[in-house]
Amino acid sequence: MKICPRCQKTYQDDSLNYCLDDGTQLTSFAPVESAETIFMGHPPVTSPTAERGGSTVPVGWTVPPALLAHKQKSSRAWIWIIAILLLVILVCGGGIGGMIFYSYGLKDDTVSTSPSGPNSPALSKAKADQIRDGMSLSEVRQLLGSDGERFSTTSGGGVTFENYRWTDTNYAYVIITFRDGKVFSVSKGGFKE
Ligand SMILES: [Zn+2]
C-alpha cells in the first residue's frame, strides 16, 4: 500500500509511484500501518497494584513523591474508617444478639407457665402442703399432677442435689430441692386461697 504525502490518498496498487490526482511521489504506507498494529496490539498496561487501589495510573508514569505520600496517607485513613465501621457493626450486632438472647429467655419463661406446658394443672396449696421431706420425685409428681421442670443439678462429695419447679398460670410455684432423689427442702407460694 502507498500513500500520497500531499492529499493523504492511499493506493492499494504498489506499482504506482505517483499520485493520480496531484502527481506527488507516493510513499510506502507499510511502516505507518505496522506502527499502528503495534500500538493496537499493546494497549496501555496498568499496574496491578494501582488497579487494586482503584487508580488508573499506567506503568511507567512517574508519580510525584508528594502525591504518592498523600495517596498513602489517605488510604491509611480509609483503613481506619473501615476498622471503626467494623467495630460499630460488631458492637451493634452484639447488642442485637443480646436482645435476641434476652427475648428468648423471656419466651422460655412464658412457655414454662403456659397452660399447655408440663405444669398445666393449677397448683393446689392443699396438695403442696402434703409434700414431706424424704418423698421421691415420682410421689411428688403424682401429688402435684405434673412432671415439673428440673432447672439445676449440683453434685459433690457423692451427693446430688436436683432443683425442680412446678408453676401454674396463676403464678403459684412449688420449688423442691431433691437430695439423691428425695425431697430435701420445699419452697412454695403464690397460691390463691
Ligand atoms: Zn495526491
Convert the pLDDT of each residue in 142-188 to its tens digit. Answer: 999 999 999 999 999 999 999 999 998 888 999 999 999 999 999 99
When pLDDT is cut at 50, 70 and 90, the band that residue 118 belongs to is low
Cα gap 141→127, rounded to integer Å: 11
Residues with CB under 5 A from ligand 1 (ion): 4, 6-7, 9, 19, 21-22, 24
**How far, in Å, from the CA of 34 to the mean position of ligand 1?**
22
What is the CA 32 to chain-centroid distance, rounded?
58
**How far, in Å, from the CA of 25 to the mean position of ligand 1?**
8
Cα Dmax for the chain: 130
Over the chain, what is the mean pLDDT?
Answer: 77
Sign of the dihedral defined by the CA atoms of residues 27, 29, 34, 39, in that order: positive
What is the CA 129 to chain-centroid distance, rounded?
53
**How far, in Å, from the CA of 95 to the mean position of ligand 1?**
81
**How far, in Å, from the CA of 17 to the mean position of ligand 1?**
11
When pLDDT is cut at 50, 70 and 90, the band that residue 137 belongs to is very high
Q: Residue 87: what pLDDT?
A: 84
**How far, in Å, from the CA of 19 to the mean position of ligand 1?**
5
**How far, in Å, from the CA of 38 to the mean position of ligand 1?**
27
The predicted model scores a pTM of 0.40
Q: Residue 144: what pLDDT?
A: 93
Q: What mean pLDDT is predicted for residues 74-94? A: 81
**How far, in Å, from the CA of 13 to the mean position of ligand 1?**
14
Cα gap 55→59, rounded to integer Å: 11
